[in-house]
Structures are given as structure tokens and as C-alpha cells.
Amino acid sequence: MNGFEPDVADAVRRALAEDIGTGDITTNLCVGADVRATGRMIARQSLILAGAELLPLIFADCGVILHHGSGARLDSGDEIAFVSGSARSLLTGERTALNFVQRLSGIATLTSAYVKAVNGTVCRILDTRKTTPGLRRLEKMAAAAGGAVNHRLGLYDAVLIKNNHIAAAGGVRAALERTRNAGVAVEIEVRTRAELDEALECGTAHLLLDNLTPAKAREWILHIAGRATVELSGGITLEKVRAYAETGADFVSCGAITHSAKAVDINFRLDLD
């Protein structure tokens, strides 16, 4: 499983172990060890592809030809990949392969819809940490395939001061002072105009405005007047994202692209040699 981040390769290992356990009883009983086969993974709807690069990991002892990579826009009937080898290997890996590619392509497809909705504005779509436990890197890869900008990967690679941090630190100024020498990007959430002005007075470079209406967001962004980068968040749906993007925000972050994406329809067709 070389060439992938360790957590990606580990996610594939765990998924295979979860499904196969002590062995694929059905396949091993029904299919001879010497039977050879080919498999074709085919899109059954329009989609943005993600996760196909995992297929050589899943079908490690088979030949895999990828026709498209992550980010490709496919129509129903388009072939994603061709796999050849032991029929047992193809049957045993089929469900794991489909689970990954259907799920990740679902994220990429929904993300692409958000990105398309804000086309023509200065706003870009951000993903969040609202991901399936253990699959964050994969789901963020899928969001990027759909055109989103990856936000922080975890709690360790950027500072994001939210309302509970502010309360625990003793206020906006205290929180910002304590993170001044963090050595990574620092962003702070503000909920009131007083907090907004205090953050700007402290020289913050990145602001998170949460749960505002588009009208209120536009008002605050006019007040900020380019003094900080602005991210909007808080239940921003696909139907409303254009209105938020038109406020002049630099980013809209959306947890729905990972936590609420619907798996797309993909088929795996097996043929005996």
C-alpha cells in the first residue's frame, strides 16, 4: 500500500479486515480457486469521481486499469476502472471497493454542486472536521476532488478559536494573545459586533462569522472592510449558499458536504474469462 498517506492505507486495511474477517465463506465455497474473471466498475448516474485510486489497494493481487481519476466528471454508463484476476479476489473485494468509491464520489458530487452554486463570486467552499471517524483524510480528498478547499485536517495544524474557547480563555483578547505565537494560522469566531471589533483591534487576520443571515453577514463584512479574511458558517444549505457567497465573504464552510452526502450509484460487473 505504498504511495498513500498511512491513514489512507490503514483505512483500506481496516475496511477489508472488517468485511473479510476469517474468510469470504460464500465465495470460497462457490468459486474455484483457479477461476479467472474481469470486473468493470461503471457509473450509473452523473457524478464527480473520487476514491478510484484506492482500487489497486483493494484488489492488490489483481490487475487494475483506471480510466478516470478523482475530480473527473462522469455520465451514466462511463467506465471507471477495469480489474482482472482471480474471480475470488474480485468477488471478495467488490463491496469494499464500491463502498469507498460510492461514498467518496457522493461527497465529491455534492461538493461540486456547492462550488457550482458560488461560481462568479470571490467565495470558495471549505470543508470541515464533520467527517466519518477514521476516514477524515479520504473524505477531505473527496471534497477537494469536488472543488472545495481543505480546511484544517485536525486540531493540530491550525488554531480555530470558537465561542467555548473564548469563554474558557476569558474573552476574545485573552484568547488571541495566548495564540499570538502559535506558528500556525489563527482564526477566531465572533458572535457579536463587540467581539468583532475587539478581534479587529487585536489585528486578527481570519474571522469566522457563524449563524448570521445573508443580510447581517453583508453588513458585518462591509464593516470589516478587508481588514481580515472572512469565513461564514452555520447550516448553510445548497439552496442558500449563493446568497451567502454574494455577501463578499472569502469562504463558506459547510459540514454537509461530508456528513450528509448521499452515496452515488456505481455498478461492478463481473465476467468470467
Q: Which residues are catalytic?
A: 95, 130, 162, 189, 210
Is residue 102 within 8 A of residue 266, CB to CB? The reply is: yes
Start-end of H helices in 76-162? 87-117, 136-145
Is residue 252 within 8 A of residue 233, CB to CB? The reply is: yes
State the Cα angle at 208 between 206 and 211, rounded to 5°. Answer: 165
Is residue 117 within 8 A of residue 244, CB to CB? The reply is: no
Question: Rounded to 5 degrees, what are φ and ψ at 226?
Answer: 80, 5
CA distance 255 to 234: 9
